[in-house]
Amino acid sequence: MYDPTLDVCDGVIAESMSEYDSQDDKPLVFRRNSATPQQNESNPEITIIKQNASNVMEKTLKEEGQSRSNSEDSDDDKPLSVKLSSGALNGNSHHIRMGSNLSCPSPYTSPKPRIIKGPEDEMLLSSELQLNAGASNAESSDSDESKPLASELEEPSSSLNKRPLIQPKISDPSPSKKAKLSEPSAPTNRKRKQPKAEEAAADDDLPISNRNKKSTTPASKVSDKKKRPDVSASLNKVNKQSNKADFSKSLKVPPGSGEGQKWTTLVHNGVIFPPLYKPHGVKMLYKGNPVDLTPEQEEVATMFAVMLETEYMTKPKFRENFMSDWRKILGEKHIIQNLEDCDFTPIYEWHQREKEKKKQMSTDEKKAIKEEKMKQEEKYTWAVVDGVKEKVGNFRVEPPGLFRGRGEHPKMGKLKKRIFPNDITINIGKDAPIPEPPIPGERWKEIRHDNTVTWLAFWNDPINPKEFKYVFLAASSSLKGQSDKEKYEKSRKLKDYIEGIRAAYTKDFASKDSKRRQIAVATYLIDKLALRAGNEKDDDEADTVGCCTLKVENVETKRPNILKFDFLGKDSIRYQNEVEVEPRVFSAIEQFRSGKEGGDDLFDQLDTSKLNAHLKELMPGLTAKVFRTYNASITLDEMLSRETKGGDVAEKVVVYQHANKEVAIICNHQRTVSKSHSAQMVRLNEKIEELKGLLKELQEDLTRVNKGKPPLKNSDGKPKRNLNPEALQRKIAQTNTKIEKMERDKETKEDLKTVALGTSKINYLDPRITVAWCKRHDVPIEKIFNKSLLAKFAWAMDVDPNFRF
DNA sequence: GAGTGCACTTAGTATTCCATCC
DNA sequence: GGATGGAATACTAAGTGCACTC
């Protein structure tokens, strides 16, 4: 396993220290806010060009449910009367008034549920493409190497599945006009992973993890018995024909030709591995004496040593888990028996010196290293999907290290072992050359040719072997773009159902069926507070909750109708919020709490499956998470529309940032306050004071000059240049502008110190809202989206300027 | 209906890049 | 050309939800 002589793994220059850079955990500051406005949409006709290795096909799809005209918008413009408290941005908990203004004719007015016979309740089932089980092993793919890249597979068929649904508010276009591809609900009901089941059947019906030996054999045999053609060379054929424009950002293609099928041809070079460990030989101390460690023992000790300055060191669980795993490597009889007697400082100091050396390298040296690294990695950075070159997202296998779970994770500190090729399953086109494992003598665990999934490779998470780590295409790929677009289309569709849904759950607040009452209240909270669904969690995960898993102790009731939330959500981020709710919601919560202990489930008859099953009866494909996207996007749309008054580009950008911030607050997207925040504020204040001093001086000079006197001397006692009154006035104006800008910057900095704006921009805000707004208001899109977002949202760039969510 | 496997999205933090200032 | 700080990017943990089995 350890080869001290090797500091290059598949050409990557070993940077052993880079794997151990320290990370700090800092406490967070919390705040909440909420707003839930509504808006409507337009209906762009979408031109989709499908391109693969052999052809370019163009088809125009009328997007399902998109033929609604802007004139319909007005019907939806019914604000939910969500009152924000003034403490919103000061780290205070919030007091949000909800519901009381929502009586008729509000979104809570009684629904008129109807059975729909139109296409809304068509639940499309896709028949899965048959994968040739025989072809799924490497033998057959090997023999197929000479085949062209694009192989044709069977087209999927569809069938119907009907449910009673709440009628969407608008009348939908005729079923015949609907394109399956853009029907967001369709895939949700499809039969899943049939090819995989067949493949699994061919593979003994065993879980992947148990199929290791059996499945590894064929692939491994292949790489032994026959020398593969150079994958890179093969890809380069495509590459030569592809220039930058071939990257998917230029496409408007829905990838895959069927519901379950994601691609037809897939070619890639596999993954790149971190360099093998290079021992440094620096000895740590045990009871004050230097200790000899094997490279393997030293590697794990170094992982710990480089974290000495992090907060993990103060966590007993982290230390305990580390020691437990390290002891397995040290062996029972090793001199090191107790972590408290260990002194890792020599290794820590060595690491600091290495970091410093790296920092001190000249720009040219750094550049040369970077270029070399890029050269070595280049072939792993892209894949060819249906003849189109696409960026790969995470082509680097995760290096070994100590697990840095968030919050009070019971597994923090455990050793994340090194991943080797025989841990990795590769997914690749049947006719594509299988990449050679980059570590000599190693074989891939398994080769698959599953075109119903988008991953290129996966391995079992060493911390939780039941789970997987996947290698996917980058966010800019067509596959990701299509899926993103479908997500926003689905949440946009919720707008047509939301009134009925709100009316339905409002009615159920008083239902005699307690399960129904719990579903109603949970849906209300998810809708109004953008709470996450809250799946059940195992004991070996951090103790966090979402809506369905809220505990009694997480929601306090304050009469007459205030709910006080306090819990740890995803990533152990604290959610604190005080909300005024509908009296019936308040009563229901009081009832759910009664007779229970603090640690008991608030919604004891509910879980996410039951909740989502219920939501699907109201709208095809509706799940709890759709509400978050819907509320985020509609808030942005509404705020941009309401608050853009004109002014220059900078002022409009401020309007956008303000709306973005509101969404981030609604979604509780937080970040830690940067270490240098207070120092930066001090500096800003100093600069402002300095400018104010200058301003005062200039004003005095102006008064003197107006009286025909010379200006005051400067701080050195030397005479200043005698400026004319106009020049002085100009300087005064400039200084004033500078001060104003700095004051604004200071305010914004303070305001946003704990709010993460990026998360909502990347995941929740329909980019078409942004693009259309930019077009309507002559704001260059680059002012809002950086390079990555422009690539990720390439599919949204052609949106009609009149688009509304 | 509970439990689980699997595939994917969402999330915060660390690191790197790059512009600006001195 | 070094320091600084904000933006961009990389990394990987932690969620959601569907399909399937029992």
pLDDT digits 0-9 by tens, A516-554: 999 999 999 999 999 999 999 999 999 999 999 999 999
Which residues in range 1-60 of chain A are in contact with strand B, contact meaning CB within 7 A of any of its atoms? 18, 21-26, 28
Which residue is nearest nucleotide B15, judged by alpha carbon to C1' distance? A21
Alpha-carbon distances, residue A782 vs A249, A639, A775, A790, A800 (angstroms):
16, 20, 12, 8, 18
Residues A61 and A176 sit within 8 Å (Cβ to Cβ) = no
Pairing of strands A424-427, A446-448: parallel
Q: What is the pLDDT of residues A174-198, one digit of tens each?
A: 333 232 223 333 333 333 443 333 3
C-alpha span between A46 and A437 (Å, rounded): 42
Q: Which nucleotide has the least CA–C1' distance to A363?
A: C1
Residue A707 half-sphere exposure toward CB, CA atoms < 13 A: 9
Bigger pLDDT: A411 or A725?
Answer: A411
Which residues in range 784-803 of chain A are in contact with strand B, contact meaning CB within 7 A of any of its atoms? none
Burial A737-756 (b: 16+ CB within 10 A, else e): eebeebeeebeeeeebbbbb
Residues A436 and A223 sit within 8 Å (Cβ to Cβ) = yes
> What's the number of domains chain A is made of?
1
Does the N-terminal peptide bond of residue A105 adopt cis geometry, omega within 30 degrees of 0? yes
Which residues in range 354-373 of chain A are in contact with strand B, contact meaning CB within 7 A of any of its atoms? 366, 370
Which residue is nearest nucleotide B4, judged by alpha carbon to C1' distance? A466
- Please give the pLDDT value at position A728: 83
Asked if strand B contacts A484 at the CB level, meaning under 7 A, the answer is: yes
Strand partners, A281: none
Q: Say whether pLDDT at A263 is over 80.
A: yes
Which residue is nearest nucleotide B16, judged by alpha carbon to C1' distance? A370
A515, part of any domain: no
- Residue A166's pLDDT band, with cuts at 50, 70 and 90, is low
DSSP class of A418: P
A192, part of any domain: no
A713, part of any domain: yes
Report H helices in A166-285.
Answer: 194-202, 212-225, 231-241
Distance A193 CA to C20 C1' (A): 10
A297, part of any domain: no
Token readout for A361 is 């390298």
Distance A289 CA to B10 C1' (A): 47
Distance A26 CA to B13 C1' (A): 10
Calculate ∠ Cα A792-A793-A795, nearest 5°: 120
C-alpha span between A653 and A657 (Å, rounded): 6
Distance A29 CA to C11 C1' (A): 24
Distance A570 CA to C14 C1' (A): 7
Sequence-separated (6 or more) residues with CB below 8 Å from residue A666:
A33, A34, A35, A36, A530, A631, A632, A635
A70, part of any domain: no
Asked if strand B contacts A262 at the CB level, meaning under 7 A, the answer is: yes
Sequence-separated (6 or more) residues with CB below 8 Å from residue A757:
A657, A660, A661, A664, A669
Highest mean pLDDT pick, A53-62, A213-222, A445-454, A639-648: A445-454
C-alpha span between A281 and A301 (Å, rounded): 12
Distance A483 CA to B7 C1' (A): 13
Place of tokens 């909300």: A579
Nearest partner of A449 among A269, A265, A209, judged by Cα: A265
Write down the mean pLDDT value for chain A: 73
CB-based burial label for A249 (10 Å; 0-12, 13-18, 19+): buried
C-alpha span between A425 and A435 (Å, rounded): 12
- Taking only Cα atoms into account, the Rg of chain A, rounded to an integer number of angstroms, comes to 30
C-alpha span between A361 and A777 (Å, rounded): 47
C-alpha span between A591 and A24 (Å, rounded): 42
Residue A146 half-sphere exposure toward CB, CA atoms < 13 A: 1
Asked if strand B contacts A623 at the CB level, meaning under 7 A, the answer is: no
Highest mean pLDDT pick, A41-45, A409-413, A682-686: A409-413
Q: Is A717 left (phi over 0), alpha (psi -120 to 50) or beta?
A: left
Strand partners, A425: A446, A458
- Residue A276's pLDDT band, with cuts at 50, 70 and 90, is very high
- Please give the pLDDT value at position A700: 85
- Please give the pLDDT value at position A259: 60
Q: Which nucleotide has the least CA–C1' distance to A274?
A: C11
Residues of A marked as catalytic: 764
A289, part of any domain: no
Sequence-separated (6 or more) residues with CB below 8 Å from residue A606:
A515, A518, A519, A522, A548
- Please give the pLDDT value at position A686: 76
- Please give the pLDDT value at position A33: 34
Decide: helix, strand or coil at residue A624. helix
Distance A466 CA to B4 C1' (A): 10
Highest mean pLDDT pick, A218-227, A614-623, A724-733: A614-623
Q: What stretch of H or E contains A465?
A: none
Which residues in range 514-543 of chain A are in contact with strand B, contact meaning CB within 7 A of any of its atoms? 532, 536
Which residues in range 653-682 of chain A are in contact with strand B, contact meaning CB within 7 A of any of its atoms? 667-672
Q: What stretch of H or E contains A588?
A: helix A583-593
Which residue is nearest nucleotide C19, judged by alpha carbon to C1' distance? A192
Which residue is nearest nucleotide C10, judged by alpha carbon to C1' distance? A394
A742, part of any domain: yes
> Which strand B bases fall within 7 angstroms of a protein CB?
2-17
A340, part of any domain: no
Q: Say whether pLDDT at A30 is over 70.
A: no
C-alpha span between A489 and A659 (Å, rounded): 21
Which residues in range 197-216 of chain A are in contact with strand B, contact meaning CB within 7 A of any of its atoms? 200, 207-209
> Which strand C bases fall within 7 angstroms of a protein CB?
4-21
- Please give the pLDDT value at position A5: 27
Strand partners, A59: A48
- Please give the pLDDT value at position A42: 28
Residue A306 half-sphere exposure toward CB, CA atoms < 13 A: 23
Q: Which nucleotide has the least CA–C1' distance to A759?
A: B11
Residues A101 and A36 sit within 8 Å (Cβ to Cβ) = no
Calculate ∠ Cα A315-A19-A474, nearest 5°: 105
Which residue is nearest nucleotide B9, judged by alpha carbon to C1' distance? A763
Report H helices in A99-193.
Answer: 138-143
Burial A378-414 (b: 16+ CB within 10 A, else e): ebbbbbbbbbbbbbbbebbbbbbbbbebebebebbbb
Residues A477 and A471 sit within 8 Å (Cβ to Cβ) = no
CB-based burial label for A209 (10 Å; 0-12, 13-18, 19+): exposed
Burial A441-454 (b: 16+ CB within 10 A, else e): ebbbbbbbbbbbbb
- Residue A379's pLDDT band, with cuts at 50, 70 and 90, is very high
Distance A192 CA to C19 C1' (A): 6
CB-based burial label for A141 (10 Å; 0-12, 13-18, 19+): buried
Domain boundaries, position A703:
689-753
C-alpha span between A335 and A330 (Å, rounded): 9
Percentage of the residues of chain A whose pLDDT score is greater than 90: 53
The region of weakest confidence among A37-41, A273-277, A512-516 is A37-41
Distance A687 CA to B21 C1' (A): 13
- Please give the pLDDT value at position A168: 53
- Please give the pLDDT value at position A424: 97
